[in-house]
Amino acid sequence: MATLEIRDLHVGVEEADGSSKEILRGVDLTIRSGETHAIMGPNGSGKSTLAYSIAGHPKYTVTGGSVTLDGADVLEMSVDERARAGLFLAMQYPVEVPGVTVSNFLRTAKTAVDGEAPKLRTWVKEVRTAMEGLRMDASFAERNVNEGFSGGEKKRHEILQLELLKPKFAILDETDSGLDVDALKVVSEGVNRVRQATDVGVLLITHYTRILRYITPDFVHVFVDGRVAEQGGPELADVLEESGYDRFLTAARS
Protein backbone atom coordinates (compact mmCIF):
# COMPACT_ATOMS: atom_id res chain seq x y z
CA MET A 1 0.00 0.00 0.00
CA ALA A 2 1.53 3.28 -1.15
CA THR A 3 0.33 6.88 -1.12
CA LEU A 4 1.10 9.71 -3.51
CA GLU A 5 0.19 12.97 -1.89
CA ILE A 6 -0.01 16.36 -3.54
CA ARG A 7 -0.49 19.20 -1.07
CA ASP A 8 -1.26 22.83 -1.91
CA LEU A 9 0.94 22.63 -4.99
CA HIS A 10 1.78 25.92 -6.68
CA VAL A 11 3.70 25.89 -9.95
CA GLY A 12 4.83 28.64 -12.27
CA VAL A 13 6.14 28.56 -15.79
CA GLU A 14 8.69 30.95 -17.24
CA GLU A 15 7.37 33.08 -20.06
CA ALA A 16 9.31 34.28 -23.09
CA ASP A 17 10.10 37.66 -21.46
CA GLY A 18 11.60 35.89 -18.42
CA SER A 19 8.71 36.62 -16.08
CA SER A 20 6.95 33.79 -14.28
CA LYS A 21 3.25 32.97 -14.64
CA GLU A 22 1.49 30.99 -11.94
CA ILE A 23 -0.42 28.05 -13.44
CA LEU A 24 -1.10 25.66 -10.56
CA ARG A 25 -2.74 27.53 -7.71
CA GLY A 26 -2.97 25.12 -4.81
CA VAL A 27 -3.59 21.54 -5.99
CA ASP A 28 -4.60 18.99 -3.36
CA LEU A 29 -4.84 15.33 -4.38
CA THR A 30 -4.18 12.02 -2.65
CA ILE A 31 -3.86 8.79 -4.62
CA ARG A 32 -3.51 5.40 -2.96
CA SER A 33 -2.46 2.06 -4.40
CA GLY A 34 -5.18 0.40 -6.40
CA GLU A 35 -7.14 3.63 -6.98
CA THR A 36 -7.81 5.27 -10.32
CA HIS A 37 -8.35 9.03 -10.28
CA ALA A 38 -9.52 10.90 -13.35
CA ILE A 39 -8.57 14.54 -13.70
CA MET A 40 -10.87 16.30 -16.12
CA GLY A 41 -10.70 19.89 -17.17
CA PRO A 42 -10.87 22.34 -20.03
CA ASN A 43 -7.89 23.05 -22.26
CA GLY A 44 -5.38 25.34 -20.63
CA SER A 45 -6.52 24.59 -17.07
CA GLY A 46 -3.09 23.25 -16.10
CA LYS A 47 -3.56 19.48 -16.31
CA SER A 48 -0.35 18.86 -18.23
CA THR A 49 1.47 21.30 -15.98
CA LEU A 50 0.49 19.08 -13.05
CA ALA A 51 1.81 15.99 -14.85
CA TYR A 52 5.05 17.71 -15.89
CA SER A 53 5.59 19.06 -12.38
CA ILE A 54 5.31 15.59 -10.86
CA ALA A 55 7.65 14.34 -13.60
CA GLY A 56 10.24 16.98 -12.75
CA HIS A 57 10.25 18.84 -16.05
CA PRO A 58 12.78 21.70 -15.73
CA LYS A 59 10.46 24.28 -17.33
CA TYR A 60 8.09 24.19 -14.38
CA THR A 61 9.02 25.82 -11.10
CA VAL A 62 7.37 24.69 -7.90
CA THR A 63 6.74 27.80 -5.83
CA GLY A 64 4.86 26.17 -2.96
CA GLY A 65 3.38 22.99 -1.56
CA SER A 66 4.61 19.41 -1.71
CA VAL A 67 4.50 16.11 -3.56
CA THR A 68 5.38 13.05 -1.48
CA LEU A 69 5.43 9.31 -2.11
CA ASP A 70 5.02 7.47 1.18
CA GLY A 71 6.36 10.55 2.88
CA ALA A 72 9.46 10.87 0.66
CA ASP A 73 9.86 14.26 -1.03
CA VAL A 74 9.35 13.65 -4.75
CA LEU A 75 10.24 17.23 -5.68
CA GLU A 76 13.75 16.70 -4.29
CA MET A 77 14.30 13.64 -6.48
CA SER A 78 16.00 13.59 -9.87
CA VAL A 79 13.91 12.32 -12.78
CA ASP A 80 15.67 8.92 -12.53
CA GLU A 81 15.03 8.73 -8.80
CA ARG A 82 11.34 9.40 -9.38
CA ALA A 83 11.19 6.43 -11.78
CA ARG A 84 13.05 4.20 -9.32
CA ALA A 85 10.68 5.27 -6.53
CA GLY A 86 7.87 3.80 -8.63
CA LEU A 87 6.46 6.78 -10.53
CA PHE A 88 5.62 6.20 -14.16
CA LEU A 89 5.51 9.34 -16.21
CA ALA A 90 5.61 8.67 -19.91
CA MET A 91 6.53 12.23 -20.75
CA GLN A 92 9.82 11.99 -18.87
CA TYR A 93 11.22 10.19 -21.91
CA PRO A 94 12.64 12.03 -24.89
CA VAL A 95 10.45 12.50 -27.91
CA GLU A 96 12.81 10.58 -30.18
CA VAL A 97 15.69 8.33 -29.25
CA PRO A 98 17.79 8.04 -32.39
CA GLY A 99 19.35 4.64 -32.96
CA VAL A 100 17.74 2.98 -29.92
CA THR A 101 15.25 0.24 -30.66
CA VAL A 102 12.05 -0.21 -28.68
CA SER A 103 13.39 -3.56 -27.48
CA ASN A 104 16.65 -2.07 -26.12
CA PHE A 105 14.87 0.94 -24.70
CA LEU A 106 12.41 -1.21 -22.73
CA ARG A 107 15.17 -3.41 -21.30
CA THR A 108 17.27 -0.39 -20.33
CA ALA A 109 14.28 1.29 -18.68
CA LYS A 110 13.37 -1.92 -16.81
CA THR A 111 16.97 -2.32 -15.61
CA ALA A 112 17.10 1.29 -14.45
CA VAL A 113 13.82 1.05 -12.55
CA ASP A 114 14.49 -2.33 -10.91
CA GLY A 115 18.22 -1.77 -10.28
CA GLU A 116 19.04 -5.07 -12.04
CA ALA A 117 18.64 -6.49 -15.50
CA PRO A 118 15.54 -8.63 -16.07
CA LYS A 119 16.07 -12.38 -16.63
CA LEU A 120 16.34 -12.67 -20.37
CA ARG A 121 14.04 -15.59 -21.07
CA THR A 122 11.06 -14.46 -18.96
CA TRP A 123 11.60 -10.89 -20.12
CA VAL A 124 11.41 -11.77 -23.81
CA LYS A 125 8.20 -13.68 -23.11
CA GLU A 126 6.72 -10.81 -21.10
CA VAL A 127 7.48 -8.30 -23.84
CA ARG A 128 5.96 -10.56 -26.47
CA THR A 129 2.79 -11.16 -24.44
CA ALA A 130 2.35 -7.46 -23.67
CA MET A 131 2.84 -6.54 -27.33
CA GLU A 132 0.30 -9.13 -28.44
CA GLY A 133 -2.16 -7.77 -25.90
CA LEU A 134 -1.74 -4.32 -27.40
CA ARG A 135 -2.09 -5.76 -30.94
CA MET A 136 1.41 -4.64 -31.84
CA ASP A 137 3.33 -6.42 -34.57
CA ALA A 138 6.54 -8.11 -33.36
CA SER A 139 8.55 -5.98 -35.81
CA PHE A 140 7.66 -2.92 -33.73
CA ALA A 141 10.29 -3.95 -31.17
CA GLU A 142 13.04 -3.40 -33.74
CA ARG A 143 11.99 0.11 -34.68
CA ASN A 144 13.71 3.14 -33.21
CA VAL A 145 11.90 4.75 -30.31
CA ASN A 146 9.32 7.28 -31.47
CA GLU A 147 10.96 7.61 -34.92
CA GLY A 148 8.04 8.04 -37.27
CA PHE A 149 5.58 6.61 -34.73
CA SER A 150 1.96 7.46 -35.45
CA GLY A 151 -0.11 8.96 -32.63
CA GLY A 152 -1.61 5.54 -31.95
CA GLU A 153 1.80 3.82 -31.91
CA LYS A 154 3.11 6.37 -29.40
CA LYS A 155 0.19 5.66 -27.07
CA ARG A 156 0.58 1.90 -27.41
CA HIS A 157 4.29 2.24 -26.71
CA GLU A 158 3.41 4.25 -23.60
CA ILE A 159 1.06 1.52 -22.33
CA LEU A 160 3.59 -1.16 -23.27
CA GLN A 161 6.07 0.55 -20.94
CA LEU A 162 3.41 0.76 -18.25
CA GLU A 163 2.70 -2.97 -18.51
CA LEU A 164 6.36 -3.93 -18.35
CA LEU A 165 7.70 -1.47 -15.77
CA LYS A 166 4.93 -2.17 -13.22
CA PRO A 167 5.12 1.17 -11.40
CA LYS A 168 3.46 2.08 -8.10
CA PHE A 169 1.82 5.14 -9.66
CA ALA A 170 1.15 5.95 -13.29
CA ILE A 171 0.31 9.38 -14.61
CA LEU A 172 -1.29 9.20 -18.03
CA ASP A 173 -1.77 12.56 -19.72
CA GLU A 174 -4.32 12.58 -22.55
CA THR A 175 -3.71 8.95 -23.38
CA ASP A 176 -6.95 9.10 -25.34
CA SER A 177 -6.09 12.05 -27.56
CA GLY A 178 -5.95 11.29 -31.25
CA LEU A 179 -7.01 7.66 -30.92
CA ASP A 180 -9.81 6.13 -32.96
CA VAL A 181 -12.30 3.95 -31.09
CA ASP A 182 -10.50 0.67 -31.85
CA ALA A 183 -7.13 1.98 -30.66
CA LEU A 184 -8.78 3.55 -27.62
CA LYS A 185 -10.22 0.15 -26.67
CA VAL A 186 -6.87 -1.61 -27.08
CA VAL A 187 -5.06 1.02 -25.03
CA SER A 188 -7.77 1.03 -22.33
CA GLU A 189 -7.66 -2.76 -22.10
CA GLY A 190 -3.92 -2.49 -21.53
CA VAL A 191 -4.43 -0.03 -18.67
CA ASN A 192 -7.14 -2.26 -17.20
CA ARG A 193 -4.84 -5.31 -17.39
CA VAL A 194 -2.23 -3.44 -15.37
CA ARG A 195 -4.88 -2.32 -12.86
CA GLN A 196 -6.00 -5.92 -12.45
CA ALA A 197 -2.57 -7.54 -12.32
CA THR A 198 -0.92 -5.00 -10.00
CA ASP A 199 -1.78 -2.57 -7.24
CA VAL A 200 -0.98 0.46 -9.41
CA GLY A 201 -2.49 3.82 -8.57
CA VAL A 202 -3.51 5.71 -11.72
CA LEU A 203 -3.88 9.40 -12.41
CA LEU A 204 -5.75 9.59 -15.69
CA ILE A 205 -5.72 13.09 -17.14
CA THR A 206 -8.22 13.81 -19.87
CA HIS A 207 -10.26 16.51 -21.55
CA TYR A 208 -13.04 14.23 -22.82
CA THR A 209 -15.20 11.71 -20.96
CA ARG A 210 -14.77 9.17 -23.77
CA ILE A 211 -11.94 7.13 -22.22
CA LEU A 212 -13.86 6.84 -18.95
CA ARG A 213 -16.33 4.53 -20.68
CA TYR A 214 -13.52 2.00 -20.90
CA ILE A 215 -11.52 2.81 -17.78
CA THR A 216 -13.85 3.36 -14.85
CA PRO A 217 -12.29 5.72 -12.32
CA ASP A 218 -12.87 5.48 -8.59
CA PHE A 219 -12.69 9.26 -8.25
CA VAL A 220 -13.20 12.17 -10.63
CA HIS A 221 -11.64 15.59 -10.06
CA VAL A 222 -12.76 18.60 -12.04
CA PHE A 223 -9.71 20.73 -12.74
CA VAL A 224 -10.27 24.41 -13.46
CA ASP A 225 -7.92 27.40 -13.39
CA GLY A 226 -5.03 25.48 -11.86
CA ARG A 227 -6.79 23.72 -9.03
CA VAL A 228 -9.35 21.05 -8.22
CA ALA A 229 -12.76 22.75 -8.34
CA GLU A 230 -14.85 19.73 -7.42
CA GLN A 231 -14.43 16.03 -6.76
CA GLY A 232 -16.74 13.06 -6.75
CA GLY A 233 -17.24 9.53 -7.95
CA PRO A 234 -17.53 8.26 -11.53
CA GLU A 235 -21.00 9.83 -11.80
CA LEU A 236 -19.33 13.25 -11.91
CA ALA A 237 -18.02 12.33 -15.37
CA ASP A 238 -21.60 11.88 -16.56
CA VAL A 239 -22.48 15.34 -15.30
CA LEU A 240 -19.53 16.76 -17.27
CA GLU A 241 -20.54 14.80 -20.35
CA GLU A 242 -23.95 16.49 -20.26
CA SER A 243 -23.25 19.99 -19.11
CA GLY A 244 -19.55 20.55 -19.84
CA TYR A 245 -17.24 22.68 -17.72
CA ASP A 246 -19.19 25.93 -17.82
CA ARG A 247 -20.66 25.79 -14.38
CA PHE A 248 -17.27 25.03 -12.83
CA LEU A 249 -15.64 27.85 -14.77
CA THR A 250 -18.11 30.36 -13.38
CA ALA A 251 -17.66 29.01 -9.87
CA ALA A 252 -13.87 29.17 -10.07
CA ARG A 253 -13.82 32.78 -11.26
CA SER A 254 -16.39 34.22 -8.91
Could you give the string, one character per residue 166-185, with x where binding to ligand ADP holds by CB under 6 A and - elsewhere?
--------------------
Q: Binding to ligand ADP by residue 244, rule CB under 6 A?
A: no
Question: Which range, of 41-49, 116-124, 139-147, 151-159, touches ligand ADP by CB under 6 A?
Answer: 41-49
Q: Binding to Mg ion by residue 53, rule CB under 5 A?
A: no
Q: Binding to Mg ion by residue 43, rule CB under 5 A?
A: yes
Q: Binding to ligand ADP by residue 49, rule CB under 6 A?
A: yes
Sheet holding 20-32, edge to edge: 20-32, 3-14, 60-69, 72-73
Q: Binding to Mg ion by residue 45, rule CB under 5 A?
A: no
Nearest approach, Cβ of residue 15 and ligand ADP (Å): 6
Partnered with residue 222 across adjacent β-strands are 40, 230
Mapped to the 3 state alphabet, what secondary structure does 160-222 carry? HHHHHHCCCEEEEECCCCCCCHHHHHHHHHHHHHHHHHCCCEEEEEECCCHHHHCCCCCEEEE
Question: Which range, of 42-50, 110-118, 210-218, 229-237, touches ligand ADP by CB under 6 A?
Answer: 42-50
Do residues 10 and 24 touch, judged by C-beta distance below 8 A? yes
Residues that bind ligand ADP (CB under 6 A): 13, 15, 23, 41, 43-49, 59
